[in-house]
Amino acid sequence: MLYYVVKRLFLLIPTLWAIITLNFFIVQIAPGGPVEQAIAKIELGENAMDTHQSAMSKITGGQNDPQSSALENSYKGSRGLDPEHIEAIKKQYGFDKPIHIRYLNMLKDYAQFNFGDSLFKSASVIELIKERLPVSISLGVWSTLIIYFISIPLGIKKALQEGSKFDFYTSLVIIAGSAIPGFLFAMLLIVLFAGGSFFEWFPLRGLSSLHSEEWPLYKRVLDYFHHITLPVIATVIGGFAGLTMLTKNSFLSELNKQYVVTAKSKGLSLNQVLYGHVFRNAMLIIIAGFPGVFIGMFFTGSVLIEVIFSLNGLGLLGYEATLQRDYPVMFGTLFIFTLLGLLVKIISDLTYMWIDPRITFERNN
């Protein structure tokens, strides 16, 4: 097992390098980077000033106004975006160097876990991630726990009562849950329960109320759960369906095996067979997949939910960075998420061995 873990850890390096390299060159050569956005904002300001000057001229009937003349002279002095100004913008965003130099500098910095500073926020990438991490963790933890607590008992009962009315009607609910996208269900919850058109039972933004830090502890806890209820429901609705069917199919597969028939023939009760023999084998794939499910829920499943409910988590941070072309934040979060995802894959494999000692990743002699 030690050989396997060491080998997988060494494989992290080329995997990280390949992912970061591919994304770096794709994003860098794509149009609409921070330099282009800065130039567009300046040009947009110039167009707005032209409109203002035209309106002032109509109001004054074409007469000279000292204040408007001074404003126009000041504006004309900044018009044109001369090459020196453009070069200053490029230097500000680090684009005054060739792309291969920027790439090598990025690799050197990332090897030291130095992800730089945000281009548009007055903070480093690490500080932004630390600030947004608790929100995403809380949303991911509660959603994953609720999904497992609902899906596993429901899947076991569906396996034991396959073909019954309970199995049929719960399957309809599961199909409906899996067919509705999480972001669409989130918008439906807002319309129904967050002041959209019907009720205003839940708040719409954030995970705490204004000035809640001054409240007693029990009141802050209640306020936190009050805010997180709708985001968690929206995240859970699509996740429990797949895990429920996986649990059902896993238990059905084990219940039809020969060792179950043998155990029943020896006079063991259904509960003894189920929890003494079937449960450990059937839960192997479900429990071992828990780290991967949590990471998937934590990194990708909550992006749209955080955007819709205005939760300052990593999903919203990545969304804002993508819109603004904030490259340090984009690449820094990509590096950290990829590293954590690869480490979780190793943990998942080790979990398989912990649950079932028959599984081994050692080399054969």
Distances (CA, A) of 178 to 185, 238, 239, 294: 11, 5, 8, 18
Is residue 52 located within the same domain as residue 139? no
Is residue 220 located within the same domain as residue 152? yes
CB contact set of 260 (below 8 Å; sequence gap of 6+)? 254, 273, 277, 278
Query: How deeply is 178 buried, as exposed, middle or buried, from its count of CB atoms within 10 A (0-12, 13-18, 19+)?
Result: middle
Residue 50 resides in a domain: yes
pLDDT of residue 363: 57
pLDDT per residue, tens digit, the chain (365 aa), is 777 788 888 888 898 899 889 988 888 777 777 777 777 777 666 554 444 455 444 444 545 444 444 434 433 334 456 677 777 777 777 777 888 888 898 888 888 888 888 888 888 889 998 888 888 888 888 888 888 888 888 988 998 888 899 999 998 988 887 788 777 888 888 888 887 677 888 888 888 888 888 888 888 889 889 888 999 888 888 777 878 888 888 888 888 888 888 888 888 887 888 877 788 777 777 776 676 676 666 665 567 888 888 888 888 888 888 888 888 888 888 888 888 878 877 887 777 777 666 666 665 44
Residue 11 resides in a domain: no
pLDDT of residue 196: 66
Is residue 157 located within the same domain as residue 224? yes
Residue 104 to residue 111: CA distance in whole angstroms: 11
Where does a domain end: 65, 89, 111? 111
The DSSP-derived string for 168-219 is: HHHHHHHHHHHHS-HHHHHHHHHHHHBSSSS-B-S--SSSS-TTGGGS-HHH
Residue 12 resides in a domain: no
CB 254 within 8 A of CB 246: no
Is residue 219 located within the same domain as residue 246? yes
Is the alpha carbon torsion for 202, 206, 207, 209 positive or negative? Answer: negative
Where does a domain end: 52, 78, 111? 111
Is residue 292 located within the same domain as residue 207? yes
Range of the domain at 62: 33-111
CB 19 within 8 A of CB 334: yes
Is residue 82 located within the same domain as residue 167? no
What is the DSSP secondary structure assignment for residue 291, as one 8-state letter? H
Is residue 92 located within the same domain as residue 136? no
pLDDT of residue 70: 40
Residue 95 resides in a domain: yes
Distances (CA, A) of 261 to 249, 264, 274, 280, 350: 18, 5, 12, 16, 31
pLDDT of residue 45: 62
Is residue 88 located within the same domain as residue 141? no
Is residue 91 located within the same domain as residue 194? no
φ, ψ dihedrals at 205, nearest 5°: -125, 145
Is residue 67 located within the same domain as residue 213? no
Residue 209 resides in a domain: yes
Where does a domain end: 88, 111, 134? 111
Neighbouring CB atoms inside 10 A of 87's CB total 12
Q: Which of 249, 248, 244 lies closest to 175 in space, CA to CA?
A: 244
Is residue 67 located within the same domain as residue 212? no
Is the alpha carbon torsion for 338, 341, 347, 348 positive or negative? Answer: negative
Residue 119 resides in a domain: no
CB contact set of 185 (below 8 Å; sequence gap of 6+)? 233, 234, 237, 238
CB 21 within 8 A of CB 13: no
pTM for the predicted model, two decimal places:
0.73
pLDDT of residue 296: 67
Residue 360 resides in a domain: no
Only one residue has tokens 């205005």, namely 310
Residue 99 to residue 24: CA distance in whole angstroms: 10
Specify the number of domains making up the chain.
2
Is residue 230 located within the same domain as residue 329? yes
CB 302 within 8 A of CB 133: no
Residue 289 resides in a domain: yes
The DSSP-derived string for 212-262 is: GGGS-HHHHHHHHHHHHHHHHHHHHHHHHHHHHHHHHHHHHHHHTSHHHHH
The CATH number of the domain holding residue 263 is 1.10.3720.10
